[in-house]
Amino acid sequence: MPNSEKANTLYGFEPYLAAEGEEYMNEAQSAHFHGILEAWKSELMEEVDRTVHHMQDEAANFPDPNDRASQESEFSLELRTRDRERKLIKKIESMLKRVENDDYGFCDSCGVEIGIRRLEARPTATQCIDCKTLDEIREKQMG
């Protein structure tokens, strides 16, 4: 899917259009986010597989030290990226459990609704925008 199309969809999902008076995190909304999270996880898992195959295919014992160093540097960067993605996959799995337990979409700090648009922008969000902003302000002041 071209990037211009991807900007309008999230992992192949159209933005959720809530009906007026619709209950927050009802079955349809939960299914919407479950699908988004599963698609994201699947995409990341495919990326991990591609990296493993790429590293196996490209692994060579170059006689030139510069070539070897370049390859090791490239592999190191790929592994760091995959490590970040592995952590993200764990977070996505945690969010999927929250969807199953009807706990998804509510702020860990104050318990209010996080909001459909915020969750579509960041499906792993665990705080409402107000609590997240306060945390970031505190972090800036402490750091």
Chain position carrying tokens 């459909």: 116
- Looking at per-residue pLDDT, the higher value among 59 and 2 belongs to 59
Q: What is the pLDDT of residue 72?
A: 82
In this prediction, residue 10 has a pLDDT band, given cuts at 50, 70 and 90, of: low
Outline which parts of the chain fall under CATH 1.20.120.910.
21-103
Q: What percent of the chain is modeled with pLDDT above 70?
A: 89
Interval 13-50: pLDDT, tens:
889 999 999 999 999 999 999 999 999 999 999 988 88
Assigned CATH topology for domain 21-103: Four Helix Bundle (Hemerythrin (Met), subunit A) (1.20.120)
Enumerate the β-bridge partners of residue 10: 13
For residues 72-101, average pLDDT: 92
Backbone angle region of 124, left / alpha / beta, with phi > 0 → left and psi within -120 to 50 → alpha: alpha
- What DSSP string describes the chain? --HHHHTTSBTTBPPP-PPTTPPTT-HHHHHHHHHHHHHHHHHHHHHHHHHHHHHHHH----SSHHHHHHHHHHHHHHHHHHHHHHHHHHHHHHHHHHHHTT-TTB-TTT--B--HHHHHH-TT--S-HHHHHHHHHHHHHH-
pTM over 0.85: no
Q: How far is CA 24 from CA 80, 115, 127, in A?
A: 37, 8, 16
pLDDT of 81 over the 90 cut: no
